[in-house]
Amino acid sequence: MKESNESQFNIHPMDQFIIEPILSGGEGLQWYSFTNQALWMLFSLVAIALLFIFGIRKNEVVPGRLQSIAEILYTFVRKMVLDIAGPEGLKYFPYVFTLFIFILFGNILGLLPYSFTTTSHIAVTGVLALAVFIFVTILGFVKNGFKFLGLFWISSAPLALRPVLLIIEVISYFVRPVSHSIRLAGNMMAGHAVIKVFAGFAGALGVGAVAPIVAIMAVYGLEMLVVVIQAYVFTILTCVYLNDALHPGH
């Protein structure tokens, strides 16, 4: 981390994640100052609005291109909630859908050059995962009362094993938000850092940098896939946790 040599190989793959205040006249970072991260969150909000509000303006039988995308996303998440959390889960579909499109658009916009990946920050994903965790825990107690604790007391296991399983289940329950958030942030951060490292190689090699550019293209293609899958995984885990809260028996 102590790169004192100021040569061409001075690559800072993490610099793209720095949060800087913009439009603030140099007063430093306050809790309210408008940062590059807030700007890109706003961009994803605008992109979602463009797709879902202006893309589906026409009420046609055969949908256009944008409308098809919007409808596929919508029916996909709806079916996921219905399949995993059951019909009772559909009540919480707006929140799950909000999470999905926010993460998806944050991830995809983060792949644009010079952009900022909002979902690569542990603070962001941590807040999202903690919100899901707290919401699901409260929902479980509200819906099932103290029967919700049966989630940790596996009645199908032999009696001697149950205390051990209790410990394991409690730990894995409280570890959920950690893995939930770090999976997303870690994947986003690692992918973008790798692209940045290859880009640094390309910059150092100059005109003859064919291999790094091919590598960037390959990693970029992989990242397109990872970006969508991570949004999917975050959403599907939310559905699984929701299902645990709604039906703790199994």
Partner 1 sequence: MASNNNAEVSSGGMPQLDFSTFPNQVFWLSVTIFCLLLMVRFIIIPRMDNILANRRKVVEEDLVGAEKFREAAEELEKSITQEMDQSKARANEMLAKSKEKIKQNRQKGLIEAEEMTKTLLSDSEKVIVTMQKEANKKIEKISAELAPEIIKKLSPER
Partner 2 sequence: MEGDIVEMGKFIGAGLACTGMGGAAVGVGHVVGNFLAGALRNPSAAPGQTATMFIGIAFAEALGIFSFLVALLLMYA
- Minimal distance, residue 77 CB to partner 2, in Å: 12
The listed partner (partner 2, partner 1, none) that binds 104, CB under 5 to 8 Å by sort, is: none
**Binding to partner 2 (CB under 8 A): which residues in 74-103?**
80, 83-84
Name, in order, each residue with C-beta under 8 angstroms of 139's C-beta and a sequence gap of 6 or more: 92, 242, 245, 246
Distance in angstroms (rounded) separating the CA atoms of residues 7 and 212: 18
**Binding to partner 1 (CB under 8 A): which residues in 217-246?**
none
- Minimal distance, residue 144 CB to partner 2, in Å: 22
Of 25 and 94, which has the nearer Cβ to partner 1?
94
DSSP letters, 50-96, are IIIIITT-S--SS--HHHHHHHHHHHHHHHHHHHHH-GGGGGGHHHH
Contact window for partner 2 (CB under 8 A) among 18-26, 109-117, 180-188, 192-200:
180-188
- Minimal distance, residue 182 CB to partner 2, in Å: 5
Among 84, 91, 100, 83, residue whose Cα is nearest residue 143: 91
- Minimal distance, residue 78 CB to partner 1, in Å: 9
Q: According to CB under 8 A, which one of 78, 143, 162, 183 is a site residue for partner 2? A: 183
Size of the site for partner 2 (CB under 8 A): 16
94 lines the binding site for partner 1 (CB under 8 A): yes
Three-class SS state of 35: strand
- φ, ψ of residue 248 to 5 degrees: the values are -75, -5
240 lines the binding site for partner 2 (CB under 8 A): yes
46 lines the binding site for partner 1 (CB under 8 A): no
Instruction: Retrieve residue 220's tokens.
Output: 């970029």
| Cβ contact 16:196 at 8 Å | yes
178 lines the binding site for partner 2 (CB under 8 A): yes
Among 195, 200, 24, residue whose Cα is nearest residue 120: 195
| Cβ contact 231:104 at 8 Å | yes
Q: Applying CB under 8 A, which residues contact partner 1? A: 1-3, 12, 14-15, 17-20, 29-35, 37-38, 41-42, 44-45, 48-49, 52-53, 56, 59, 61, 67, 70-71, 74-75, 93-95, 97-98, 101-102, 118, 120-124, 127-128, 185, 189
